[in-house]
Amino acid sequence: MAQHKVYTDAVTKYVTLPLENAVNAMLTSKYNPFYYHGALPQFFLWVLFLSGLLLFAYYIPTIDNAYSSKEAINAFTSVDYITNVIPFGVVIRGIHRYAGDAMVLTIILHALRVWFTDRYRQYRWVQWFSGIVLLLVVFFIGQTGYYLVWDERSLVLTRMTVTALEAIPGVGPALKAWFINGETISNLTLSNYLFIHIGLSFGLLFGLWMHYVRMARPVLTPPPVINYALMAILLAVVFMNPIDMGQMAVLTSQPTQFEIDWFFLWPYALLLQWPPMTFWLVMAAVTIFFSILPLPFLVRGASGTELPPVEAAEVVLTKCTGCSLCDKDCPYEAIEMVPAPAGSRFKLLATVLPHRCSSCGLCVGACAFDAIDLPNNQDAEVNNKIKALLAQS
Amino acid sequence: MTKVMTLICERSCDLDQYVDEKSQLKDMPGCYVVKFPCSGMIQPLMIEGALKNGADGVVVTGCQIGDCYYREGNKMLRERLLGERPPGLKKNVDRRRVLGLWLSKVQPKKLLSDVKEFAGELEKLGPAAAAADKK
């Protein structure tokens, strides 16, 4: 299963780079959405937070009186009220649903691009791994969103989830009790769904902090023009495909059919085909597969050999003046300024955290004192090479 | 002969088939190429050094702005050349002799034509050494 960099290099050379150049020719590099691929899901996250806040104002997480009448106040009727009575309620719901789909779509594009451009391994493994965890959490949050509507689809999904959880040996019953907040579906079930939906959404912020922590100056927002364009596309989708809801869930009924949102509800399509344990094992295997992709022995160069490891930059202790320009410019937060040793003329000294270093040499470019070097490409050698080339002929 | 030093990111334009064994562009004698892991590694000192040691002009080339493999290298070099980020070029460096190009791996032809045009401009300016002597 070793990944050969030759193939991804070919994809970038013949597909992605020409495509990006074409977009650059139209929009200039400043407004090229490909260069903000990580910021796009982040934009949709803010849209989801805001639209979710508005929905939260009217949502009632109970299944009370679900049998009696249309006047009943419960989750379904509150969603119905949002959809049909509140001005633009259906638009807000549409924005909330399609922004979720868009977030999944842009996350996958983001993941594909970092994989094709070989920007996922070595000093970036924390970002890759936290990204996988974040995507799984996003899937789960989106699914809980579908439970919250409490129409017939929600009931089928809940029952399918309960069956799937119960099948896990050992912890199954406990997971089931956690999921529906008791032994049977009750009012507490929906408060738990709401808690998961909103609580995990804020949990995403912690995950995103992990995702960004080693990146100096992460690109979190595209230029406003791109945001407006994304919002316009989103609104166009919302108005072209206004969302509806099914029948109210009735606990005594056995609904069997529902529409699948392929961005979030694909696991349920698999659960219809496979026994629960097969499903869990396949999910675990896929997650592990993607998690270990960055391992060095799985990435091969052109000749099938392992790629060389990163050789971290080294500070020339006698030359460093502690000016901290390299610390400011390092794109991976790999340089730390420490107090200079006693007897030094300077207050600070730069040190390199080798496990974070990408060996890009940006610190070399930032240093006006030749005080930091790549061990296999020293600036003195580069200068000598330039001099030698110019001296000939 | 106009001497042009091209300092280039190895992930930017793929010049392998255009360069001879002396790191010289095949159809532009006097134009040398030195590769860097990232354009962000290029020190303003190196540009000054090249001009001091006989180059008539220096071309620095990084990837498309926004697409740096190491996130910010080309952006930072660009800011250094524009004097927006320390360390910058010394004041007495003739800015007409430094050209920044931001091109992706698949645009070597654009680089070659831009360098050719730049060399033509340099020829009009005259050799760098003579200009330095005049001062």
| CB contacts, 8 Å: B104 with chain A | 17, 20-21
Q: If you measure CA to CA, which chain B residue comes closest to A16? A: B106
Choose among A234, A261, A259: nearest CA to A139. Answer: A261
Q: If you measure CA to CA, which chain B residue comes closest to A383? A: B46
- Say if the Cβ atoms of B105 and A387 lie within 8 Å: no
- Say if the Cβ atoms of A325 and B50 lie within 8 Å: no
CA angle A145, A169, A172 (to 5 degrees): 35
Strands in B4-9's sheet, in edge-to-edge order, are: B31-36, B4-9, B57-62, B98-102
pLDDT at A384: 93
pLDDT at B135: 53
Q: How far is B49 from chain A (nearest CA, A)?
A: 7
Question: What token pair was written down for B121?
Answer: 């401009």
Nearest to A13 among B7, B66, B106 (CB): B106
| Residue-averaged pLDDT of chain A | 92
Q: How far is A376 from chain B (nearest CA, A)?
A: 11
Those residues of chain B that have pLDDT short of 70 are: 129-135
Per-residue pLDDT tens over the stretch A349-388: 999 999 999 999 999 999 999 999 999 888 999 999 999 9
State in words which class domain B4-129 has. alpha beta
Please tell me the number of Cα atoms within 13 Å of A187 on its side-chain side: 6
pLDDT at A246: 84
Please tell me the total number of residues recorded for chain A in this structure.
Answer: 393
Per-residue pLDDT tens over the stretch A31-40: 999 999 999 9
Distance (Å, whole) CA B110 – CA B97: 19
Per-residue pLDDT tens over the stretch A218-276: 999 999 999 999 999 999 999 999 888 888 888 888 888 888 899 999 999 999 999 99
- Say if the Cβ atoms of B5 and A390 lie within 8 Å: yes
Per-residue pLDDT tens over the stretch A196-220: 999 999 999 999 999 999 999 999 9
pLDDT at B126: 84
Task: Name the percent of chain B in helix, strand, coil, to the closest 5.
Answer: 40, 20, 40
Choose among A375, A365, A319: nearest CA to B47. Answer: A365
Average pLDDT of span A278-284: 97
Domain residue ranges of chain B, discontinuous segments joined by +? 4-129
In chain A, the percentage of residues whose pLDDT exceeds 70 is: 97
pLDDT at B111: 95
Per-residue pLDDT tens over the stretch A117-141: 989 988 999 999 999 999 999 999 9
| Residue-averaged pLDDT of chain B | 91
User: Do residues A354 and A364 touch, judged by C-beta distance below 8 A?
Assistant: no
Q: Per-residue pLDDT for A97 more than 60?
A: yes
| CB contacts, 8 Å: B42 with chain A | 365
- Say if the Cβ atoms of A391 and B54 lie within 8 Å: yes
pLDDT at A55: 96
Q: DSSP character for A12?
A: I
Average pLDDT of span A48-62: 95
Distance (Å, whole) CA A91 – CA A82: 10
Q: How far is A231 from chain B (nearest CA, A)?
A: 22
Residue position matching structure tokens 């240093």: A367
Residue position matching structure tokens 């089931």: A176
Radius of gyration of chain B (CA): 14
Q: Per-residue pLDDT for A297 more than 90?
A: no
Per-residue pLDDT tens over the stretch A147-197: 999 999 999 999 999 999 999 999 999 999 999 999 999 999 999 999 999
Distance (Å, whole) CA A308 – CA B113: 34
Distance (Å, whole) CA A355 – CA A343: 29
Per-residue pLDDT tens over the stretch B45-80: 999 999 999 899 999 999 999 999 999 999 999 999
Question: What token pair was written down for A339?
Answer: 């107090």
Distance (Å, whole) CA B25 – CA A354: 36
